[in-house]
Structure 1
Amino acid sequence: MISRTVLLASAAGIALLASPAFAEDSAAADAATASSANNEIIVTAQRREEKAQEVPIALSVIGGPEIDSKGAFNINRLQQSQPSVQFYSSNPRNSAINIRGLGAPFGLTNDGIEQGVGFYIDGVYVGRAGASTFDFVDIQRVEILRGPQGTLYGKNTTAGAVNVTTRAPSFEPEGRVELSSGNYSFMQAKASVSGPIVADTLAARLSASYSKRDGTIDNVRTGEDLHRMNSFSTRGQLLWKPSSSLDFTLAGDYNWQNPLCCVQYYARLAPTQRPLARQYTALAGAFGYTPPTKDPFDRVTDLDADLNARQTMAGVSLTGNWDLGPATITSISAWRNWDWSPANDRDFIGLPITTVSANPSHQTQWSQELRLTSNGKTRLQYTLGAYYFHQKINTNGVQVQGSAASRWLLSGTDASNPNVLNGLTSTNTIRFSNDSFAVFGKLNWEPVNGLHIQPGVRVNYDKKSGYYDAVVSIANSQYNFTATAANVQAMLDSKTGTAKTTFQNQINTLAPQHYEPHFDDWNVSGDITLSYDFSQDIHGYATYAKSFKSGGINLSGLPLNSTSTGVDLTTQTVKPENVNHFEVGLKTQFLDHKVTLNLAGFWDEIKDYQTTVNANAVNVIRGYLANAPKVRVRGFEFDSAFRPSDRFNVYVNGAFTDAKFVKFTNAPCPPELAGGTAPTGTQVASPAGTAGGISPVSCNISGQVLPGISKWSVSWGGEYNVPLGGDGAEVYFGYDGSYRSRFSSNPSPSAYMYIDSYSLHNFRLGFRRDHFNIFGWVRNAFNEKYFELLSTQSGSSGLIVGQPGDPRTWGGHGQARLLIV
Structure 2
Amino acid sequence: MPIAVNAFSSDMVETRRISDIQSLSTSVPGFSINSLSKSRLNPSLRGGSSSLVSAGAEQAVGLFIDDQYFGGAGDFEIDLFDIERIEVLRGPQGTLFGRNTTGGSINVVTRRPSKKTEGKFEATIGNYDAIEARGYVSGPLAGNLFGSFAVSSRDRDGTSRNITTGNRIDNTNRASFRGKLLWEASPDLDIIATVGYSRADETGPARDSIFTSTPPTNQSLIDFGFVPDNDPRVVQQASDSSFKSRQWTGNLRAEYKLPDAALLSVTTYRDFSSKEGKVSLVGVPVPTFDLGEPRSAESFSQELRYTSDYDGPFNWVGGLYFFYSDETRNTNVTTAWNQETFGGVVQSITFCPLQTLEDFDNGVVTPACVANFPGLFGPNDFHVNERNRTTSYSAFVDGNYEPFEGFTLLGGLRYTHDKKKFNVDIGGGPDFFWNPPTSTDIDPMTGLPFIGQTAANSANWSKLTYRIGFQYKPTDKIMVYGTRSTGFRSGVFDGAQSDPTLVVKPVGPESATSHELGLKSRWFDNRFQLNIAVFNVEYTDLQFFISSPTSSVSTNAGKARVRGVEVEAVASITDYLTLSANYSHQDGTSSGIPPEAEITPGTAPQGTIPNTYMVAADFEYPLGNGDSFSAHVDLTHKDRYGLEFNDAPQFSSRTKSLVNASLNYKLSSGFEFSIWGQNLTNENIIVYGNDLWFASYSLAAALTDPAILTDVKQPRYSAPRTYGATIRYSF
With normalisation by structure 1, the TM-score equals: 0.79
Q: 1:336 to 1:403 in 2, by over 3 A?
A: same
The code of the aligned residue for 1:88 comes to: N
User: CA offsets, 1:327-352, max 9 Å, x none?
Assistant: 10100011101111111233423343
Cα distance in structure 2, aligned partners of 1:210 and 1:805: 20
Question: Is the contact made by 1:746 and 1:791 (CA closer than 8 Å) also made in structure 2?
Answer: no
Cα distance in structure 1, aligned partners of 2:688 and 2:376: 33
Cα distance in structure 1, aligned partners of 2:248 and 2:340: 43
The code of the aligned residue for 1:708 comes to: G
Cα distance in structure 1, aligned partners of 2:332 and 2:42: 23
User: CA offsets, 1:343-390, max 9 Å, x none?
Assistant: 123342334344763232211001000000012564111000110100
Shift of 1:773: 2.4
The code of the aligned residue for 1:807 comes to: P
Question: Is the contact made by 2:419 and 2:460 (CA closer than 8 Å) also made in structure 1?
Answer: yes
Cα distance in structure 1, aligned partners of 2:536 and 2:453: 41
Q: 1:463 to 1:433 in 2, by over 3 A?
A: same
* 2:116 aligned to which of 168, 172, 179: 172
Residues 1:430 and 2:359 are matched in the alignment: no
Q: Secondary structure at the match of 2:542?
A: strand
Q: 1:756 to 1:547 in 2, by over 3 A?
A: closer
Question: Is the contact made by 1:406 and 1:419 (CA closer than 8 Å) also made in structure 2?
Answer: no
Aligned residues: 690
Cα distance in structure 2, aligned partners of 1:336 and 1:778: 35
* 1:247 aligned to which of 186, 190, 193: 190
Cα distance in structure 1, aligned partners of 2:379 and 2:36: 26
Q: 1:806 to 1:377 in 2, by over 3 A?
A: farther
Q: 1:548 to 1:728 in 2, by over 3 A?
A: same
Shift of 1:115: 2.2
Residues 1:598 and 2:531 are matched in the alignment: yes
Question: Is the contact made by 1:320 and 1:330 (CA closer than 8 Å) also made in structure 2?
Answer: yes
The code of the aligned residue for 2:205 comes to: C
Shift of 1:99: 1.6
Match of 1:540 in 2: 480
User: CA offsets, 1:122-157, max 9 Å, x none?
Assistant: 111124243232222211110111122221112112
Cα distance in structure 1, aligned partners of 2:693 and 2:184: 58
Cα distance in structure 1, aligned partners of 2:729 and 2:136: 11
Shift of 1:796: 6.3
* 2:628 aligned to which of 713, 724, 730: 730
The code of the aligned residue for 2:458 comes to: H
Shift of 1:188: 0.8
Match of 1:515 in 2: 455
Cα distance in structure 1, aligned partners of 2:512 and 2:287: 42
Cα distance in structure 1, aligned partners of 2:728 and 2:311: 38
Residues 1:749 and 2:647 are matched in the alignment: yes
Match of 1:263 in 2: 206
Q: Which runs of 5+ in 2 are unaligned?
A: 346-364, 697-708
Shift of 1:761: 0.6
Residues 1:375 and 2:282 are matched in the alignment: no
Q: 1:349 to 1:429 in 2, by over 3 A?
A: same
User: CA offsets, 1:104-129, max 9 Å, x none?
Assistant: 314x6222322222211111112424
Q: 1:351 to 1:184 in 2, by over 3 A?
A: closer
The code of the aligned residue for 1:121 comes to: I
User: CA offsets, 1:477-535, max 9 Å, x none?
Assistant: xx9xxx999x975773624xxx53xx36xx8xxx8553323221111111112001110
Q: Secondary structure at the match of 2:89?
A: strand
* 2:4 aligned to which of 58, 61, 70: 58
Q: Which runs of 5+ in 1 are unaligned?
A: 1-54, 271-275, 561-565, 670-698
Cα distance in structure 1, aligned partners of 2:283 and 2:59: 32
Question: Is the contact made by 2:341 and 2:695 (CA closer than 8 Å) also made in structure 1?
Answer: no
* 2:497 aligned to which of 531, 546, 558: 558
User: CA offsets, 1:178-218, max 9 Å, x none?
Assistant: 1111111111100111111123x100100101001111110
Q: 1:533 to 1:269 in 2, by over 3 A?
A: farther
The code of the aligned residue for 1:301 comes to: V
Shift of 1:722: 3.5
Deviates more, 1:748-757 or 1:543-552: 748-757
Residues 1:777 and 2:658 are matched in the alignment: no
Deviates more, 1:535-544 or 1:760-769: 760-769
Q: 1:763 to 1:351 in 2, by over 3 A?
A: closer
Match of 1:525 in 2: 465
Q: 1:234 to 1:751 in 2, by over 3 A?
A: closer
Question: Is the contact made by 2:128 and 2:158 (CA closer than 8 Å) also made in structure 1?
Answer: yes
Question: Is the contact made by 1:80 and 1:715 (CA closer than 8 Å) also made in structure 2?
Answer: no
The code of the aligned residue for 1:224 comes to: N
Q: How does 1:27-38 map to 2 (within 5 A)?
A: none
Cα distance in structure 2, aligned partners of 1:345 and 1:790: 13
The code of the aligned residue for 1:124 comes to: Q
The code of the aligned residue for 1:137 comes to: F
Match of 1:494 in 2: 444
Match of 2:554 in 1: 625
Match of 1:393 in 2: 327
Q: Secondary structure at the match of 2:119?
A: strand
Shift of 1:604: 0.8
Identity of aligned residues (%): 25
Question: Is the contact made by 1:353 and 1:408 (CA closer than 8 Å) also made in structure 2?
Answer: no
Match of 2:228 in 1: 293
The code of the aligned residue for 2:476 comes to: Q
Cα distance in structure 2, aligned partners of 1:711 and 1:490: 48
Cα distance in structure 2, aligned partners of 1:310 and 1:808: 25
Q: Secondary structure at the match of 2:96?
A: coil
Cα distance in structure 2, aligned partners of 1:579 and 1:568: 32
Match of 1:761 in 2: 659
Question: Is the contact made by 1:488 and 1:512 (CA closer than 8 Å) also made in structure 2?
Answer: no
Cα distance in structure 2, aligned partners of 1:785 and 1:512: 41
Q: 1:579 to 1:376 in 2, by over 3 A?
A: same
Question: Is the contact made by 1:707 and 1:749 (CA closer than 8 Å) also made in structure 2?
Answer: no
Residues 1:719 and 2:654 are matched in the alignment: no
Match of 1:68 in 2: 14
Match of 1:457 in 2: 413
Q: Secondary structure at the match of 2:541?
A: strand
Q: 1:746 to 1:616 in 2, by over 3 A?
A: farther
The CA RMSD over aligned residues, in Å, is: 2.7
* 2:271 aligned to which of 329, 337, 341: 337
Q: 1:790 to 1:463 in 2, by over 3 A?
A: same
The code of the aligned residue for 2:464 comes to: V
Q: 1:129 to 1:361 in 2, by over 3 A?
A: closer
Question: Is the contact made by 2:659 and 2:681 (CA closer than 8 Å) also made in structure 1?
Answer: yes
Question: Is the contact made by 1:441 and 1:456 (CA closer than 8 Å) also made in structure 2?
Answer: yes
* 1:227 aligned to which of 146, 161, 170: 170
Q: Secondary structure at the match of 1:241?
A: strand
Shift of 1:314: 1.5
Cα distance in structure 1, aligned partners of 2:321 and 2:120: 35
User: CA offsets, 1:712-750, max 9 Å, x none?
Assistant: 1121111223443x2332222221111110012343212
Q: 1:453 to 1:347 in 2, by over 3 A?
A: closer
Shift of 1:97: 2.1
* 1:446 aligned to which of 393, 399, 402: 402
Residues 1:105 and 2:53 are matched in the alignment: no
The code of the aligned residue for 2:301 comes to: S
Cα distance in structure 2, aligned partners of 1:405 and 1:265: 23
Q: How does 1:619-768 map to 2 (within 5 A)?
A: 624-669=553-598, 701-724=600-623, 726-768=624-666
Q: 1:773 to 1:543 in 2, by over 3 A?
A: same
Q: 1:398 to 1:418 in 2, by over 3 A?
A: same
Cα distance in structure 2, aligned partners of 1:186 and 1:578: 43
The code of the aligned residue for 1:635 comes to: G
Residues 1:791 and 2:710 are matched in the alignment: no
Q: 1:212 to 1:332 in 2, by over 3 A?
A: same
Shift of 1:402: 4.5
Shift of 1:283: 4.7
Q: 1:115 to 1:517 in 2, by over 3 A?
A: same
Match of 1:20 in 2: none
Cα distance in structure 1, aligned partners of 2:441 and 2:314: 70
Q: 1:578 to 1:215 in 2, by over 3 A?
A: same
The code of the aligned residue for 1:320 comes to: A
User: CA offsets, 1:255-279, max 9 Å, x none?
Assistant: 1112212132213469xxxxx99x9
Residues 1:82 and 2:28 are matched in the alignment: yes
